Amino acid sequence: MIGQFCHQDVDNPCRNTQEMQQRAASQIDRCENALENLHGAGSVLMPERFRAATDN
């Protein structure tokens, strides 16, 4: 079984580094939102230093 985001990478691969970073940042945001919905808005599970890698 292929997950939604892996399927996207197979069907529509990133054309450049910027697109890859943007897609990764978007996926991180979706995951953080889902975790906040599960655990409450005050839950910080992704330290900023990990997000910094996608902020270029």
Domain boundaries, given as residue ranges, for the chain = 4-54
Q: Please, are residues 56 and 21 in contact by the beta-carbon 8 Å criterion?
A: yes
The four Cα atoms 34, 40, 46, 47 give a dihedral, to 10 degrees, of 160
Q: Is the pTM of this model over 0.85?
A: no
39 vs 12: CA distance, rounded Å: 32
31 vs 37: CA distance, rounded Å: 10
Which residues of the chain carry a pLDDT beneath 70?
1-2, 4-5, 40-56
Q: What pLDDT does residue 37 have?
A: 86
Q: What pLDDT does residue 41 have?
A: 56
